[in-house]
């Protein structure tokens, strides 16, 4: 699908609710650039873990804040066209997808300096338009003027099952109870943090995808795009 008017698309919502899947699908269909903002915070968490500034019982806010501008996140497609995350030039796509790093990302994202630097990098990526970005505060903070905003949600149990199945498919052996507890913990942290808490933008379109398949969600999102841009032709 091609459209003359290029816009920015913001996709927000709770963890493991399929934001990335829809965002990637939209970007592919529209020929847009997909930016995984969650991967950026995961990369920061990995950086802090490697430095010893982030453990199960410790978060050295001073060191992370002092060195956050040393962390440069970029995205590059692999040989199969799938986008992968690079931290200071190193491919960290595999390392940032663990449960430890996921939990760490939610923790470091509470730091104002971390969010400020990541937002700066994200806004820089969106200057030329034609970007689809998903996260927790894209429509409210990163791209408040995005022409299209989506907010996805579903129950914690359904989201935990999706995350559990994804981890198992990658050869991991998580306990469902641990995954569910992690989802609920992240929900609590994301919605109550002082800096850029997760919330639906007033002009975002809400979709509860608890009982909706991926293909149906993508078609719904494409229909919304066509309505917003006035483009009713699909190539």
Straight-line distance from the first to the last Cα atom of the chain, in angstroms, rounded to the nearest whole number: 5
**For 2-30, what is the mean pLDDT?**
88
Q: How far apart are the C-alpha atoms of 230 and 101, rounded to whole Å?
A: 41
Sheet holding 90-91, edge to edge: 73-77, 83-87, 90-91
pLDDT at 18 > cutoff 90: no
Q: How far apart are the C-alpha atoms of 53 and 62, rounded to whole Å?
A: 9
| Token pair in block for residue 99 | 């449960």
Q: How far apart are the C-alpha atoms of 114 and 106, rounded to whole Å?
A: 11
Residues 6+ apart with CB under 8 A from 102: 15, 42, 182, 186
Which residues in 81-118 are b (16+ Cβ under 10 Å) and which e? eebbbbbeeeebbebbbbeebbbbbbbbbbbebbbebb
Which fold, 8-217?
Rossmann fold (3.40.50)
Q: What is the pLDDT of residues 158-176, one digit of tens each?
A: 999 999 998 899 899 999 9
Q: How far apart are the C-alpha atoms of 140 and 11, rounded to whole Å?
A: 10
Q: How far apart are the C-alpha atoms of 143 and 137, rounded to whole Å?
A: 8
pLDDT at 219: 96
Backbone φ and ψ for 61, nearest 5 degrees, come out as -60, -35
**For 143-172, what is the mean pLDDT?**
94
Between residues 39 and 193, which one has the greater pLDDT? 39
Q: What is the pLDDT of residues 99-114, one digit of tens each?
A: 899 999 989 998 999 9
pLDDT at 3 > cutoff 60: no
**For 8-36, what is the mean pLDDT?**
92
| Token pair in block for residue 217 | 């969600």
Q: How far apart are the C-alpha atoms of 36 and 21, rounded to whole Å?
A: 10
Mean pLDDT of the chain: 91
Q: What is the pLDDT of residues 194-215, one digit of tens each?
A: 878 899 999 999 999 998 999 9
Three-state DSSP state, 148: strand
> Taking the mean position of all CA atoms in its chain, how far away is CA 114?
15
Between residues 189 and 232, which one has the greater pLDDT? 189
**For 22-33, what is the mean pLDDT?**
92
**For 65-75, what is the mean pLDDT?**
96
pLDDT at 193: 84
pLDDT at 235: 40
Binning pLDDT at 50, 70 and 90, where does residue 234 land? very low
**For 223-230, what is the mean pLDDT?**
93
- Beta strand 8-13 with 148-153 is parallel
Between residues 67 and 137, which one has the greater pLDDT? 67
Contact 115, 42 (CB under 8 A): no
């Amino acid at each position: 699908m091609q459209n003359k008017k290029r816009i920015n698309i913001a996709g927000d919502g709770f963890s493991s609710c399929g934001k990335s899947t829809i965002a990637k699908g939209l970007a592919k269909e529209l020929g847009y650039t997909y930016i995984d903002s969650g991967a950026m915070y995961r990369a920061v968490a990995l950086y802090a873990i490697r430095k010893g500034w982030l453990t199960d019982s410790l978060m050295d806010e001073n060191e992370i804040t002092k060195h956050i501008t040393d962390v440069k996140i970029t995205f590059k497609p692999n040989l199969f066209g799938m986008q992968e995350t690079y931290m200071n030039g190193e491919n960290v796509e595999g390392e940032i997808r663990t449960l430890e790093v996921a939990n760490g990302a939610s923790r470091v994202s509470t730091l104002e300096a971390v969010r400020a630097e990541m937002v700066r990098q994200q806004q820089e990526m969106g200057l030329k338009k034609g970007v689809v970005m998903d996260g927790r505060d894209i429509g409210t903070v990163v791209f408040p003027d995005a022409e299209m905003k989506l907010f996805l949600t579903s129950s914690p149990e359904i989201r935990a099952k999706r995350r559990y199945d994804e981890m198992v498919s990658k050869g991991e052996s998580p306990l469902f109870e641990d995954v569910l507890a992690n989802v609920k913990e992240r929900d609590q942290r994301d919605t109550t943090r002082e800096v850029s808490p997760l919330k639906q933008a007033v002009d975002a379109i809400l979709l509860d995808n608890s009982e909706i398949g991926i293909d149906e969600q993508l078609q719904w999102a494409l229909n919304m795009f066509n309505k917003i841009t006035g483009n009713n032709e699909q190539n």
